[in-house]
Amino acid sequence: MFKPGLSKSSGAPFHHGILIRTMAKDIGLLSFGAYIPRARLQRKVIADANAWFAPALKGLARGERAMANWDEDAVTMAVEAARDCLGGIERASVGALTLASTTHPFDDRQNAAIVATALNLNPALRSMDVGGSLRAATSALGAAFDAAVGGTMTLLAAGEHRLAKAASTQEMQYGDGAAALLVGRGQPVARLLAAHTETVDFVHQFRGRDRAHDYAWEERWIRDEGYMKIVPAAVAAALKAAGVEPGAVDHFCMPCTLARVTPALAKRMGIADTAVRDNLAAVCGDTGAAHPLVMLAAALEDAKPGQRILVAAFGEGCDALLFEVTDAIKGLAARRGVKGSLARRKEETQYQRFLAFNDHINLERGMRAETDKGTPLTVLYRNRDMIEGLVGGRCQKCGTFQYPRARYCVNPECNALDSQDPQPFSDLSGKVMTYTADVLTYCPDPPAYYGMIQFDQGGRMMADFADIDGGKLEVGLPMRMMFRIKEVDPSRGFVRYFWKAAPA
Amino acid sequence: MATGIKDKVVILGMGCSKFGEHWDKNAEHLMVDAFEEAVKDAGIQRNQIEAAWFGTAIEEQHVGKSGVPLDMTLRLPYIPVTRVENYCATGTEAFRGAVYAVASGAVDIALALGVEKLKDTGYGGLPQRGRGALQSMTWANISAPGSFAQLAAAYRAKHHVNKEDLKRAMAHISVKSHDNGAKNPKAHLRNRITEETVLNAPMIAEPLGLYDCCGVSDGSAAAIVTTPDIARGLGKKDLVGVKALQLAVSNGQEVQFDQWDGSYFATTRAAAARAYKEAGIGDPRKQVSMFEVHDCFSVTELVTMEDLGISAEGRAINDVLDGFYDAGGKVPCQIDGGLKCFGHPIGASGLRMLYEMYLQLTGRAGERQRSSPVFGMTHNLGGFPSQNVSSVTIVGAYGA
């Protein structure tokens, strides 16, 4: 008679460890990147605003949580993390793209395809969205290693923008963010020693179809029956498969919003207390499905060659992945990463703004907000590289960079016909040439900042600006382009993306 | 070899409705006001008009498309009517069509009529409008004041002007126009304002405050044009001749190529140079008696006076603050109150500017009358500094 239960570490019917023992040395994590949105909502303002109704929130009112701007979602943040990850890497080498999230903006329209277009990846690409669980990204990471053995290089990006009801503990604990990993053959900065997954339908929280918010059960039960039982089973199996003692783990990455659970687990499993990594609760919050990768990226930023990183992701079971950092970590190019993202910070003390960005209050947005935001899909498709990829042109005759690409070259001394090669502008640096702060035009976060960006290599465009502090704009300010939401079409549920300029 | 338009066509009559918030009138009502005045002024029968050009820009807010609304309103006998739209130069574009028709010899008498009814949106400012299927996906979230406000940032950077000096010159421009508009019974806004009011007004698009922006109103204006011979035959004396009609349209260089610095209108410079040549004007600062330029925003007027070659580059601030462009100054600008006080019913504005020039040149401008003006110049600027339509028209004493 079949009796449900957790697998014993000695008798797992299948785990990735079997495969990994034969994995070539040149397969592993080739690069990583991260993105945490700039605004950090102070938890104290959440607690203060809701104290009349939920005074207990005061107990959680420490630190800050990352808050997506009105024009950011799981897709835009994943794109930024992926750009961070791909810096300097030939994009044509990416053969597969997976986008992990529980908050994909589209149910039907592959979200990964938007990311692929924004990154100007080769269309000969195996792409997919994975979701449905807080371990979506770690499960996809295991699959990426399977693909790597088969010769495919996978870009795995995870982004999360979860909504939470006002005055909920989730509102306090969640944060928005993204991370990305490149998995394949090359000079890995970390190799996978073993991976093991336990799949257990333990429902600590859920979000049904068409529901905006998570519904969670009692924390004490989640701790005792969930984390404390399911995680050790998965971790023990992975460690055993790798032949690594728990005490040899240098970095233990496990997202968990429950207090003191991770250290208690580490102790139970024999992992050193010093190996337990900060879950970034104080400075970022829990970024859901992205958080295991965010924590892994943060660990890679600190890790030294030879160190072992254990990642455990809990949710309807547990994924456990054990990595060993290689010498190549020392040669990895500088990147923004988690540290850089956290340093790019703006304190947010307006709880009302957070509510408005997440559509939790019925703001009077004015008649100017009523214009039809419909997107003709034919036009979007025909111009997808121009719009989603920010691809302009470079004239073969005179070398002029120009956006958009047009049939005649814009250089009045040239005006050559059909002379332009595609030229991506997204990674070009630029400077502010003109600007304004506009309170007349409708903008979800007024004033609307925009102006002319002059790219340093040539070419210019009139662009919306993002992440601007009032009074800091000036002609000549260095800017970089960021992938953002251009329009949300509330009557049809469509989201249109484009690029905006943000301070470099 | 083209010989230009100079003195081939004269203005036979003009009309202009009262501009303002006409809550009780449709566009058609305002069109009749302008048309009746123009026909009476011309001294002709309505059925002598052989062709018409109809200017309206945001037609979806009022009359709808095509030339039909003009003829349904004016009941002219199955004449050709062409509807034109060219951003804020729409009214001038209608005039250009009518003048060219007469100059070509195709017709003897032609009508240009512009109208716009903007106050049926339910909110202040210009109506929201589409930018085309593709452009709406990539264009920044630009309002009209926000697009022109950017001139200020670039102008300050180029000429090393501090914020306060520029704001003060911009304020003077608006104060001056309100002084003039107060004397004009057809203007929408007829109140005088102070520099302090301008400087303390709420910000619309940095650095443009409320009083740096022109009004939004309903209005209509019309011109009837013919040949000098026909005008004389109708007993007209002191003819007002068309001296130059120029238009320049952006081709992407400003917004996509790396030369333009954001502080001026490349189109206006091109159109003005051609217009002075066409009119035979060698020294516009001395020869042009008065200007009606497109003061949609105070900063637009400021840089335009440089683009028209009246103030030296970087020196318009000094001319403005010296009172050079005041009603009592050397070369008055916006002597009727400008867009600032008339508001900007887009299809009508270019013709409304010409109406003031025509009144001045025929000595009928009442308490705004300048002594013996010779040349009057109008200018329209539509779109954005980086991508626009600029029209320049010069009219003057026939034969001058």
ipTM: 0.94
Given pLDDT bands bounded at 50, 70 and 90, which one contains residue A8?
low
User: In this structure, what CATH number is given to the domain that contains residue A480?
Assistant: 2.40.50
Average pLDDT over residues B353-358: 98
Do B264 and B148 belong to one domain? yes
Count residue pairs from A and B with Cβ separation < 8 A. 129
Given pLDDT bands bounded at 50, 70 and 90, which one contains residue A6?
low
Average pLDDT over residues A49-78: 98
CB contact under 8 A, B257 and A463: no
Other C-beta atoms lying within 10 Å of the C-beta of residue A42: 20
Residue B329, C-beta contacts closer than 8 angstroms, at least 6 positions apart: B322, B323
pLDDT given for residue A17 in this prediction: 46
Q: Is B344 a catalytic residue?
A: yes
Residue A11 has pLDDT above 50, yes or no: no
pLDDT given for residue A1 in this prediction: 42
Per annotation, catalytic residue among B16, B88, B214, B296: B88
pLDDT given for residue B84 in this prediction: 98
Cα–Cα distance for residue pair A270/A261, rounded to 1 Å: 14
Cα–Cα distance for residue pair A372/B58, rounded to 1 Å: 17
The shortest C-alpha distance from B263 to chain A (Å) reads: 9
Given pLDDT bands bounded at 50, 70 and 90, which one contains residue A22?
low
pLDDT given for residue B128 in this prediction: 85
What are the tokens at B307?
């683009």
Average pLDDT over residues A219-232: 97
CB contact under 8 A, B206 and A404: no
| Percentage of chain B modeled with pLDDT above 70 | 100
Which one-letter amino acid corresponds to residue B354? L
pLDDT given for residue A4 in this prediction: 53
pLDDT given for residue B132 in this prediction: 87
Phi-psi region of B20 (alpha: psi -120 to 50; beta: other; left: phi over 0): left
Q: What is the mean pLDDT of chain A?
A: 95
Q: Is B341 a catalytic residue?
A: no
What is the number of residues in chain B? 400
Residue A16 has pLDDT above 70, yes or no: no
Residue B261 has pLDDT above 80, yes or no: yes
Average pLDDT over residues A191-197: 97
Which DSSP helix (H) or strand (E) runs through B395? strand B387-397
pLDDT given for residue B113 in this prediction: 98
Cα–Cα distance for residue pair A237/A7, rounded to 1 Å: 9
Residue A20 has pLDDT above 80, yes or no: no
For residue B196, the enclosing domain spans: 144-205+240-397
CB contact under 8 A, B157 and A476: yes
Average pLDDT over residues A342-347: 98
- On chain B, the residues whose CB falls within 8 A of the CB of A435 are 150, 153
Residue B42, C-beta contacts closer than 8 angstroms, at least 6 positions apart: B12, B13, B109, B224, B234
pLDDT given for residue A21 in this prediction: 57
pLDDT given for residue B129 in this prediction: 80
Given pLDDT bands bounded at 50, 70 and 90, which one contains residue A7?
low
Do B199 and B223 belong to one domain? no
The shortest C-alpha distance from B105 to chain A (Å) reads: 36
- On chain A, the residues whose CB falls within 8 A of the CB of B133 are 376, 379
Residue B382, CA distances (Å) to A143, B92, B391 in order? 56, 11, 9
Cα–Cα distance for residue pair B358/B393, rounded to 1 Å: 12
Q: Report pLDDT digits (tens) over B77-102.
A: 999 999 999 999 999 999 999 999 99
Nearest to A379 among B123, B125, B134 (CB): B134
For residue A476, the enclosing domain spans: 367-389+426-503
Helix runs in A52-102, H state only: 74-86
Answer whether residue B210 is part of any domain: no
pLDDT given for residue B169 in this prediction: 98
Compute the 3-state secondary structure of chain A and give helix, strand, coil in percent, each to the nearest 5: 30, 25, 45
Do B72 and B195 belong to one domain? no
Given pLDDT bands bounded at 50, 70 and 90, which one contains residue A5?
low
Please tell me the total count of domains within chain A.
3
Given pLDDT bands bounded at 50, 70 and 90, which one contains residue A259?
confident
Do A54 and A134 belong to one domain? yes
Answer whether residue A46 is part of any domain: yes
Given pLDDT bands bounded at 50, 70 and 90, which one contains residue A18?
very low
A471 touches B: beta carbon within 8 Å:
no
Please tell me the total count of domains within chain B.
2
pLDDT given for residue B157 in this prediction: 96
User: In this structure, what CATH number is given to the domain that contains residue A281?
Assistant: 3.40.47.10
Lowest mean pLDDT among A4-13, A347-356, B204-213: A4-13
Nearest to A452 among B156, B252, B262 (CB): B262
Nearest to A458 among B122, B137, B258 (CB): B258
Do B53 and B169 belong to one domain? no
Domain end, chosen from A357, A375, A408, is at A357
Residue A402: strand, helix, or coil? strand
Residue B192 has pLDDT above 90, yes or no: yes
pLDDT given for residue A19 in this prediction: 53
